[in-house]
Amino acid sequence: MLDDIDLKILRALQFDARIANVDLAKQVGLSPTPCWNRVKTLEQEGVIERYVTILNHAALGYPDTVIVEVTLDRHDDTVLEKFEAALTSLPEVVEAYLTTGEYDYYIKAAVSGAEGYEHFLRQRLYKIPGIRHSRSSFMLRCLKQTYSVKVEAGQTAPRRNKKKK
């Protein structure tokens, strides 16, 4: 189970993954070596999956976000595996989910305007076999974007044994 120190470490890291271990240790009330050991344990057990840099899509020339919902013709394992492999290789796709409901997939793509969106659809997405129907929506404004989750004192979560990749 996660203890209060683990939860303090997680709260601090999810908002600043580049914090120096010395500063993290001071913030959570540990000396540097035990703090570093706890972070390594959280990583090894899969509680911390990875560290990433979040890029500004607009600054890189992709100011628009489009959500594409896709329904496939068939749903056997081979079709799903091929579609997912092709979908994850598309550079415009920043998130993709297999979903329940009317559509099979929810795809979030970063594009450069209507021309970039058309190129994404016609030259990339629609080249993947098996799409029966799609529906798209341009995002007008982002109201909230976070990669953190609620981590509170006293919260318990079972640890899982996960080997590092």
Task: Decide if pLDDT at 148 tops 90.
Answer: no
**What is the rounded CA–CA span in Å between residue 24 and residue 39?**
10
0.85 surpassed by pTM: no
Q: Which fold has domain 4-44?
A: Arc Repressor Mutant, subunit A (1.10.10)
Task: Decide if pLDDT at 119 tops 70.
Answer: yes
What mean pLDDT comes out for the span 44-48? 93
Token output for 95: 């998130």
What mean pLDDT comes out for the span 80-105? 96
Amino acid letter, residue 78: T
Where in the chain are the domains? 4-44, 58-138
What mean pLDDT comes out for the span 22-44? 97
Can you give the pLDDT at residue 63?
96
Which CATH code for domain 58-138?
3.30.70.920
What mean pLDDT comes out for the span 129-140? 96
Token output for 87: 């979908």
Please check whether residue 27 is in contact with residue 8, taking contact to mean a CB–CB distance below 8 angstroms: yes
